[in-house]
Structure 1
Amino acid sequence: MVATLSSDFSVFSVGAAGGISAEVLHWYGLRRGGRVPIYAKSVFYWIVTIAMVLVGAFLAWVRFGSDGVPFDVYFVGLAAPIILQKLIAHAPAGVKGSRGSSTGIRDFFVW
């Protein structure tokens, strides 16, 4: 028998773990590229990263409420940020970053 999560907090937490896993995959991909991007030291980048993890956790909670199978909850938390990342990365370009730099928010999502 598969154990189920039985509280809002546990569903939210497991969903967040999935979102964190997506970020770990992102950093693994950057490591393989042999370069650490400049934005890694940006507070804005980390705010966006935390927001993406919370989106994954929130969508897992919306989908399952306070009762879900951990594996399913984890994968909703994992999939949500990755799907959003792909949508943003493939959105039409055109707006430059703040202060006229060529780096914009889309650059955070390309990996």
Structure 2
Amino acid sequence: MVSFKIEKDNLVKRYELPNYNLKIEYNYSVNEKKYNGDNIYFGYKPSKFSFVLEKKRGQYDVGNIVIVFYDPLNPEISVIEPGIHFQTLEYPLIGILLMLMFIYNLLKLLKKG
């Protein structure tokens, strides 16, 4: 865990898709070696709603000191928000829900027949 400044942030409207992407870049050093990072958290993806990212952007103003979490075995891998986030689990949860619905309907069908 290291504290460092936000170097640059940018809210970009991606025109090929109706999504907004928040790009935050930060620099940090581990054992006197400098690294650059841009991962907010693992599994981060663009949002369809700019207000969601504007709120997050307000937490990371340019020049702010932030805590950078990195892998001690591979310091190039870093994030500024560790842990599990809903966006990371969104698709697996939808997949599990669809599978459970399929199994439920299959069991119901087998019970009838």
Greater strand share, structure number: 2
Higher relative contact order (CA 8 A, sep 6+): 1
Which structure would you say has the larger Rg?
2
Asked whether the two chains share a fold, i.e. TM above 0.5, the reply is: no
Greater helix share, structure number: 1
